[in-house]
Amino acid sequence: MKKGIIRFLLVSFVLFFALSTGITGVQAAPASSKTSADLEKAEVFGDIDMTTSKKTTVIVELKEKSLAEAKEAGESQSKSKLKTARTKAKNKAIKAVKNGKVNREYEQVFSGFSMKLPANEIPKLLAVKDVKAVYPNVTYKTDNMKDKDVTISEDAVSPQMDDSAPYIGANDAWDLGYTGKGIKVAIIDTGVEYNHPDLKKNFGQYKGYDFVDNDYDPKETPTGDPRGGATDHGTHVAGTVAANGTIKGVAPDATLLAYRVLGPGGSGTTENVIAGVERAVQDGADVMNLSLGNSLNNPDWATSTALDWAMSEGVVAVTSNGNSGPNGWTVGSPGTSREAISVGATQLPLNEYAVTFGSYSSAKVMGYNKEDDVKALNNKEIDLVEAGIGEEKDFEGKDLTGKVAVVKRGSIAFVDKADNAKKAGAIGMVVYNNLSGEIEANVPGMSVPTIKLSLEDGEKLVSALKAGETKTTFKLTASKALGEQVADFSSRGPVMDTWMIKPDISAPGVNIVSTIPTHDPDHPYGYGSKQGTSMASPHIAGAVAVIKQAKPKWSVEQIKAAIMNTAVTLKDSDGEVYPHNAQGAGSARIMNAIKADSLVSPGSYSYGTFLKENGNETKKETFTIENQSSIRKSYTLEYSFNGRG
C-alpha cells in the first residue's frame, strides 16, 4: 500500500473485574472527586470549601466555545462574538455574587475567565446560565527535585559534559542539518535569562510575556526580590531545549519564547498558566514546554483542557509527568492532559560499583556523578577527615583537598553533604547512618563519589580517625552495568476517570547539566545540574522541534505517534520490562522518529473501566496506520490479554 492510511476498529468484550475480585498486580483506582461527566450544567471540579466567606480565586469555564474548540467542531466563532458572550456572562456573574472581581480572561484555548470572590458565593456563580464549570485556582510548581540542584563553575562545563542530548540522538540529527531551525518553542515557566551567553542567539527582539509582573520582560525572579526566592528553573529548561554556546541543547537553532507564569520561589497558579498557554498559541509557537505541575490527578482540570485545545491548534504541547513516583496514580495536571505529550524521567546507563575498605563490611557505593571520579579513588591511599554531619560549618578550618570526608546522616540531604564536601576540596565522601543498620537509599548523581556505612561501622570508623588512623585504601570494582532506568521519583499513571496511560514517553531527567542565571550581569555564565521530570520534558520539546523541522508536513498527532512508536523499551535492574504507566511507550530516540516509515496513532489508548455487573460490555477504540514510505506494506495486528480479564 503506497502512502496509505488504514483505520482499525478494536472492539473489546472483556468485562474487567479487577476492582471487585482483587486480582494480583492490579492497583485499584482511588476515588475521584468528579461526580459526573455531564458538563451541560455548571459543575465544580476539585475540592473547594464553599462554607467560608474567605475570598478565593476560581477559573470559570463558559458554555460558549473557545476559538480552538469551535474551530475543531466546525462551528463559526470570532473574537468579537466570543467577547460579547464573555462580557454578558461576566456581568451576570458579577451581579449574581457579592464582592466578585474578574481577573484574567481567556478565549483561544479556554473559554472563560478567572474570578476572585468569597467562597460561599460560588453556588450563586454555578447558577449563572452561561457557566459550564468552575475549577479551583490551584498552585503549580516546578517539577524538579530542588534538593538535588547543583551549581557548576564555568570552567568545569563543556559541550560534552551532559550526555543526555547525544544519547537520544540529537547529534545525529544535527549531522543531517536538523537543528530546530525555524521552529518556535515556548518556555512556559519561571521566566528565562535571555541574556545568558548560551541563549542570546535563540531569542529575537520579542522575548515573550511576563504574567507575574504583567510586562514584556519575562526574566527569572532575581536575587533579593522581597516577594520570595530567586528562580533559575526556566533558564535551565530553555538551555536543555535550545542552548547554543558552551552547552548545546537538543535543538540549538530553535527560536525561544519565554512566558513567566511561575513567580518568586517557582510557584504560580492556574490563571497564569492558562494565560501563558493562550499567549504562546497566539504568538505562533510551534512547540510549548510546561515543566510544572501539581498533585491533582484528573484529566479535566482547566490547564489540561487548555493544552488539549492547544494541540488542536497545531501546537505540540509537552509537559512533565510529575515527581511523585514510584507509586501508581501519581501523575498530576497538566500531565493528565488527553492530548499533550506527558514525559517521565530516566537515569542514563551507568555502572554500579562495589567497594571494600578496612574492615567495614557494610560499605556500599551510594552514588556518583562521573565514573572518572570513582576510578580516581580506586586503589589509592587516601586521607579521611571527619566532618560532623556535613554542613558547611563542619568543614570550616579543615583541609579536605584531595581527601575524603566522613559525615553522619541527618539534618540536611545527602546531596547537600556531598556538595559541601566538594566545595571544601574533597574528592569523595563516606556517610554513615544515624540509626542502627544500613542506609537503604541509593542516590545517583552525588557530586563526589559517596560510600555509605551502617551506624555501627560508621561509629567504628570515627573512633579509628580519632585514634589517628586516618589513611585508607578504597577498592572499587564495577559490579553491574545498568541500562537506562526509569527514575524512582518519576510519577506514574494511570489518569483518574479516563484510565489513560501516562506518561506517554520518557527521556533523561537525572543530573541534567544546563544553563542557569547568575543574577550577576558581570558574570553571566551560569550552569547547574538539576533532576526531575522538569528536566526530561524539555528533551522531548527539543526533539519535537528537530522532528518538526525534518518533517514540516506532519501534524501534531503524527509527531506524537512517531516519537511513541519508535521509542526504546526500558527494563529495570532485574531485566523486567517497566509497566507502560511507568515508562510510557519507552525512551525517545530522535532519529528513529525521523526515519519512521509507518505511523500508528494514537500511540496508546485506554478502554477505561468496565463496570457492568452482568453480561458483556462492549467498548470501541479506533486507531490509524499510515504508510509513510513509497513502497507497499502489509500490516498484521496481534494482541493478547495478560490474564487480568
Which residues participate in catalysis according to the annotation? 189, 233, 534
225 near 199, Cβ under 8 Å? no
Residues in Cβ contact with 175 at an 8 Å cutoff, skipping those fewer than 6 apart: none
Grid coordinates belonging to 126: 454555578
The residue assigned the cell 511576563 is: 210
* Contact assessment for residue 446 and residue 414, using Cβ atoms and an 8 Å cutoff: yes
Q: Phi and psi for 515 in degrees, rounded to 5? A: -75, 145
On the CB side of 231, CA atoms within 13 Å amount to: 27
| CA–CA distance, 389 with 429 (Å, rounded to integer) | 11
Q: What DSSP letter does each residue of 248-309 carry, written as one string?
A: B-SSTT-EEEEEE-S-GGGEEEHHHHHHHHHHHHHTT-SEEEE-EE-S---TTSHHHHHHHH
Cell 476539585 locates to 46
Contact, 542 vs 549, CB < 8 A?
Answer: no
Measure the CA–CA gap between 113 and 102, rounded to whole angstroms: 7
| Amino acid sitting at position 526 | G
Evaluated on CA atoms 561, 565, 567, 573, the torsion sign reads positive
DSSP state for residue 163 in the 8-state scheme: -
Nearest to 492 by CA among 577, 564, 582, 576: 582
| Angle subtended at Cα 571 by Cα 438 and Cα 542, rounded to the nearest 5 degrees | 105
Q: How far is CA 148 from the centre of its chain?
A: 15
264 prior amide bond cis, ω within 30: no
- Listed in sequence order, the residues at least 6 apart from 47 whose beta carbon sits closer than 8 Å to its beta carbon are 33, 136
List alpha helices for 195-256, DSSP H. Answer: 233-242
Residue 515, SS3 per DSSP? strand
Contact 537, 319 (CB under 8 A): yes
Burial (0-12, 13-18, 19+ Cβ within 10 Å), 250: buried
Residues 6+ apart with CB under 8 A from 438: 362, 364, 452, 453, 454
CA pair distance 28, 223, nearest whole angstrom: 46
The Cα 263–Cα 280 span in angstroms is: 18
Three-state SS at 516: coil
- Nearest by Cα to 232 from 224, 222, 247, 218: 222
Rounded CA separation 281/204 (Å): 17
